[in-house]
Structure 1
Amino acid sequence: MDPVIVVGAGPVGLALALALARHSVPTVVLDEGPGKDEQRAARTVILRDDTAALMERLTGHSFGDQESGARWGGWRSLRRKQLMRELTFSDEVPAPLHVAQHVLTGALRAAIADERLVKVAVESKLDSLEQDAGGLTAHTRGPKDTWWRGSYLVGCDGPRSTVRKLLDIRFPGRTAVERHAVAALRTELPRPGEALLHRMPPWRHGGAEVTGRPLAGGVWRLDWLLPPRGELVTPDALVVRIRETLAGWCGGSTPPYELLDTGVHTVHHRLARRWRVGRAFLAGDAAHLLGALGTQGLDEGLRDVDNLAWKLALAWHHGARDALLDSYQAERRAGVAARLRAADQSLPILRGGGGLRSYVPGSARGHDMLLTDGHVGRGPLGAPGSYAESPLAPAPSESEVAVATEPGAPVADVPVTAPDGSLVQLRDRLGLGQLLVVLVAPGTVVWERRHWVTAGIMPRLAAAVTALPHPAELLVAESYPGAAAHSVLLIRPDGHLVTALGGVRPAELYTAAEAALGGAAPKRRTDSRETTEKAESTAAASRPTTQ
């Protein structure tokens, strides 16, 4: 089996290659550049709890330290001189992770350097693509013209995606939805570690809105909302904005600061018509552009990775199942479209000045709540999407029980007991290509595992898990939000809930697992050692042909 070709070596493309490697699938990453990333302090990314955990799983690197990134301690929303909202982050309200993009990409490249299943081809620009019944052939230009053979191909090559153009996929949407002047600077502000949104600040050049977000090492990123098609921001005008903003936040005098980087960030909203054509797929900015009201495009690009990786791996190891591969577009495109709709519906209210603002009492406070939710990753503008309408959802069953997580939504990250008896977080068991079955069994934490693993319903549940049509891991949780004792949760490899059943129901569990896999059982199970050896031999044998 030929490797998967990933076009583009940004964060999404590199993350996808690492995610496939965790599933023992070899990849070739076609990097148009020289294999290095420009260090821009003003080019940063904000990751929510689920995508930050994904990046840390893939890289083995903790980004919340003092050198890599910053997890905010709190959030404030101001309007003129009035405090509108204040939020303190905790385990119940996880803090976003703010990190420079080159730091994130550097950690991905470092992890790939130690990964035998990933080959990065630098200075390789894709210019043609052909598909046939057995795979794809891609041609790249560079120091050497090269033909590459692959089983599947994923275009992670950004807004001007060559893959999307070669597949003749339309990319409609809105241009210049928002525009921001951006500055990264090192300084000391009165409340370090807290991000803030200041609407209609009471100084001359404050504009309509300015946001301050802390980074690691005492660095801040400041964003000023600009008119969508206004004049260019000159360096002198930007310095005036910086000085006035810092003075306004520091009691009237501008504190010392070191200006590190500046730029203008323009937000576009676009959504590709199709995300799959045969063996070729789109992901990240090649498939969608969004970013208004605090939502972040990379967040959704990494969710594309998490959704697609296990499905491609299943197809690579066991043969393609169109229902499973088609579900990538059905789930992810619908999720991104919902966020784009929410942003497009909110923008006229928040930016227009009239409309509902003239009729709804307390609308200013409601607007600040909406903006806060978008910035910190809650509500329709910021929360992870649910796949409630997924084609992989099982048929309703009388054995289903309600828990705090709706079917199709990401599961809560609760402590669980692993098969070896260790206590780990549920999220740590994701991304390994297997289904997860979680038994909610209060009281087990006070007993040694050897006492309860062969008692009660455990033997029958273990037998049911072994009989599932795909490898699955049985975990035990002391509790799960909204779940009664002896509830059994079936979870996909990307952490979305398939179903929750009341007690051990082998037939219903099997049916739900089969539906989550696209409705057809794999040809055979492959021993993990055999799978890894097969993938490594494929990666070693995949040699490009130059001309």
Structure 2
Amino acid sequence: MDPVIVVGAGPVGLALALALARHGVPSVVLDGGDGEVEQRTARTCVLRPDTAAYAATLGGARWAAWRTERRRQPVRRVELDALTSPLHIQQYALERGMRAALEREPLAEIVTGARLDELRQDERGVSAHTRGAPGSAGAWWRGSYLVGCDGARSTVRKLLGIRFPGRTSVERHAVAALRVELPWDGEALLHRDVPGGESEVVARPLPNGVWRLDWLLPPRGDLVTPDALLARIRDTLAAWCEEAPPYELLDTGVHIAHQRLARHWRSDRAFLAGDAAHLLGALGTQPVDEGLRDAVNLAWKLALCLHGRAPGGLLDSYEAERRGAVGARLRALDQALPLVRGGGGLRTLLSGASRGHLELLTDGHLGRGPLGASPCYGRSPLAPGQDTVPGALTVGAEPGSPVRDVPVTALDGTRGRLWERLGSELLVLLVAPGTHVWDSRHWLSAGLMPELAAVVERLPVPAELLVAESYPGAVAHTALVIRPDGHLVTALPGARTGELRACVEAVRGALAKEADAAGP
């Protein structure tokens, strides 16, 4: 099997290579840099709970709560726990951890100093040429597919001739990373109309007493000088603390949020992902989080096709699902920005807008509502229709949305969490109350388990059968079909094994209709 060529060694490219390896697919990551990851403490990313598994062992901070204040008055405090708190991590820590994991992975290779300058496709694969050292002829790389994860100025996107329309500089923030003691232990803060003149400041904790502070700036304006940034730090700390605390300034920067969406995310055997496909980041939306969703969505589909278990048309669903989801996020941003930043008049257009500016900003930062919630692929070309699954049941997650994390037991008796099992195979989760008190050898031969286990083993794609004591909204003997990326396909009565097979045929693209290309 020819490897998948991944262009770009940022978080999205590295995550894609790791996901492909988990599916047994080789990859080569073309890194245009020297392999060194710059340690920028102020450059961080916020991962939603369901994508935070990528960084589970790499550090980062979970927040105990999210606070909103206006002037000097508390407005709201949202309690958070391990299942609801985002993970806040420095991007360099995320990248270094992924690189270390890839170095231990025999199916993946990172090539440094490899800058793409030519791309050719044919019916069997992709050839990519990279520039070498000055005076050298460079090198050609051959792959089955190619994915451009090479950022906002993507060479892959330019070589494919794909347009990248949108808006520039919709938001600007001055950013500083400080080691300082603030009044809120482990709690993030959104503060509007800060005493001292700042219109909006966000403070988010990181490990080891470090905080990232973001000050909202005019979308276009003067450069932020060092003296001006130091004045902001001094005035903000004075507004928050009775006595201005000592601090250590670790890093600074200016973050500029753009809004762009590539016209197409696929061109024959080449794909776009991450910032090469979309730009966002205003009102708390998270570009790295969206890019990781691109990677996990595409990886399992490439794997099924390369292993000969799905038709090539399955890959069309990547653009339909992910471009549709990001397009919806950008439309929500377009509607929310005039309301939150001034202008109003859009309360009837954006669901939830009547709750106010601070609530909308909270949604974006915490992964809720149209600005932040995990995407639902209910209208995906892979969603089985009513004629395919006439006996579908209603559970606590609608079809196409991410599943909840619950305790599960595998057939070998291994116990863990549902999200820990995602990423490599299709999952069939049977809700069977009482199984936790019995050894697996007892319930494996009881009730409908033998028949269901036999059907799962004969499915046309690799699948694993798990058992859970309960699942929100599900009755006993419900079988949930879950994609490798954690999205619910459907829920069935466990005895309807014939419909289970038909459902899996839809998931692998055998029943897929032509993808709806509608979108911005």
The verdict on a shared fold, with TM-score over 0.5 as the criterion, is: yes
Q: What is the 5 A alignment of 1:152-301?
A: 152-204=145-197, 206=198, 208-251=199-242, 253-301=243-291
Determine if contact 1:416/1:424 at 8 Å carries over to the other structure. Answer: yes
Determine if contact 1:32/1:123 at 8 Å carries over to the other structure. Answer: yes
Secondary structure of 2:250's aligned partner: strand
**Cα deviation, residue 353, structure 1:** 4.7
Which range moves more in the overlay, 374-383 or 281-290? 374-383
Pick from 452, 462, 466 the counterpart of residue 461 of structure 1.
452
Q: What is the 5 A alignment of 1:123-522?
A: 123-143=113-133, 144=136, 145-204=138-197, 206=198, 208-251=199-242, 253-318=243-308, 321-355=311-345, 366-396=356-386, 397-432=389-424, 434-519=425-510
What does the per-residue CA deviation read over 1:315-337, in whole Å, with 9 as the maximum and x for residues that have no partner? 11117623210000000000111
Q: Counterparts of 1:173 and 1:38 in 2: how far apart (Å)?
A: 29
1:210 aligned partner, one-letter code: V
Q: Partner residue of 2:81?
A: 90
CA gap 1:15/1:356 in 2 versus in 1, 3 angstroms: closer
**Alignment gaps of 5+ in structure 1:** 57-61, 522-547
1:132 aligned partner, one-letter code: D
Q: Partner residue of 1:101?
A: 91
Q: Partner residue of 1:26?
A: 26
What does the per-residue CA deviation read over 1:206-225, in whole Å, with 9 as the maximum and x for residues that have no partner? 2x101001111111110000
**Cα deviation, residue 55, structure 1:** 3.7
Q: Counterparts of 2:247 and 2:420 in 1: how far apart (Å)?
A: 40
Q: Partner residue of 2:516?
A: none
Determine if contact 1:74/1:195 at 8 Å carries over to the other structure. Answer: yes
Determine if contact 1:12/1:284 at 8 Å carries over to the other structure. Answer: yes
Q: Counterparts of 2:298 and 2:343 in 1: how far apart (Å)?
A: 41
Q: Counterparts of 1:54 and 1:94 in 2: how far apart (Å)?
A: 16
Q: Counterparts of 2:495 and 2:373 in 1: how far apart (Å)?
A: 32
Q: Partner residue of 1:539?
A: none
Q: Counterparts of 2:502 and 2:322 in 1: how far apart (Å)?
A: 24
1:488 aligned partner, one-letter code: A
Determine if contact 1:137/1:149 at 8 Å carries over to the other structure. Answer: yes
**Alignment gaps of 5+ in structure 2:** 513-520
**Amino-acid identity (%):** 66
Determine if contact 2:310/2:509 at 8 Å carries over to the other structure. Answer: no
2:51 aligned partner, one-letter code: T
**Are positions 1:2 and 2:7 aligned together?**
no
CA gap 1:81/1:363 in 2 versus in 1, 3 angstroms: farther
CA gap 1:354/1:275 in 2 versus in 1, 3 angstroms: closer
Structure 1 vs Structure 2 CA RMSD:
1.8
Q: Counterparts of 2:427 and 2:228 in 1: how far apart (Å)?
A: 55
1:423 aligned partner, one-letter code: R
Determine if contact 1:243/1:254 at 8 Å carries over to the other structure. Answer: yes
Determine if contact 1:85/1:368 at 8 Å carries over to the other structure. Answer: no
Which structure would you say has the larger RCO, counting Cα contacts within 8 Å and 6 or more residues apart?
1
Instruction: Report runs of 4+ in structure 1 exceeding 4 Å deviation.
Output: 362-365
What does the per-residue CA deviation read over 1:133-161, in whole Å, with 9 as the maximum and x for residues that have no partner? 11111100022400111110000000000
Secondary structure of 1:2's aligned partner: coil
Q: What is the 5 A alignment of 1:114-125?
A: 114-125=104-115
1:248 aligned partner, one-letter code: A
**Cα deviation, residue 87, structure 1:** 1.0
Determine if contact 2:305/2:312 at 8 Å carries over to the other structure. Answer: no
Determine if contact 2:294/2:322 at 8 Å carries over to the other structure. Answer: yes
Q: Counterparts of 2:272 and 2:128 in 1: how far apart (Å)?
A: 15
Greater helix percent: which structure?
Answer: 1
**Cα deviation, residue 520, structure 1:** 6.9
Secondary structure of 2:356's aligned partner: helix
Q: Counterparts of 2:325 and 2:476 in 1: how far apart (Å)?
A: 32
1:515 aligned partner, one-letter code: A
Determine if contact 2:151/2:274 at 8 Å carries over to the other structure. Answer: yes
Q: Partner residue of 2:515?
A: none
**Cα deviation, residue 54, structure 1:** 3.3
Determine if contact 1:321/1:520 at 8 Å carries over to the other structure. Answer: no
**Cα deviation, residue 355, structure 1:** 3.6
Q: Counterparts of 2:206 and 2:81 in 1: how far apart (Å)?
A: 18
Determine if contact 1:6/1:155 at 8 Å carries over to the other structure. Answer: yes
The two structures have a TM-score, normalised by structure 1, of: 0.90
Q: Counterparts of 2:149 and 2:104 in 1: how far apart (Å)?
A: 22
Determine if contact 1:48/1:377 at 8 Å carries over to the other structure. Answer: yes
Secondary structure of 2:294's aligned partner: helix
What does the per-residue CA deviation read over 1:481-515, in whole Å, with 9 as the maximum and x for residues that have no partner? 00011111111111111110123112110000010
Determine if contact 2:62/2:86 at 8 Å carries over to the other structure. Answer: yes
Q: For this pair of structures, how many residues does the alignment match? A: 505
Q: Partner residue of 2:517?
A: none
1:466 aligned partner, one-letter code: E
Q: Counterparts of 1:215 and 1:277 in 2: how far apart (Å)?
A: 40
Q: Counterparts of 1:88 and 1:81 in 2: how far apart (Å)?
A: 20
Secondary structure of 2:334's aligned partner: helix
Secondary structure of 1:232's aligned partner: coil
What does the per-residue CA deviation read over 1:310-361, in whole Å, with 9 as the maximum and x for residues that have no partner? 111111111762321000000000011111111110010011155468xxxx
**Cα deviation, residue 111, structure 1:** 0.6
Determine if contact 2:178/2:212 at 8 Å carries over to the other structure. Answer: yes
What does the per-residue CA deviation read over 1:5-50, in whole Å, with 9 as the maximum and x for residues that have no partner? 0000001101111111111111111000000111111111111111
1:161 aligned partner, one-letter code: S
2:140 aligned partner, one-letter code: W
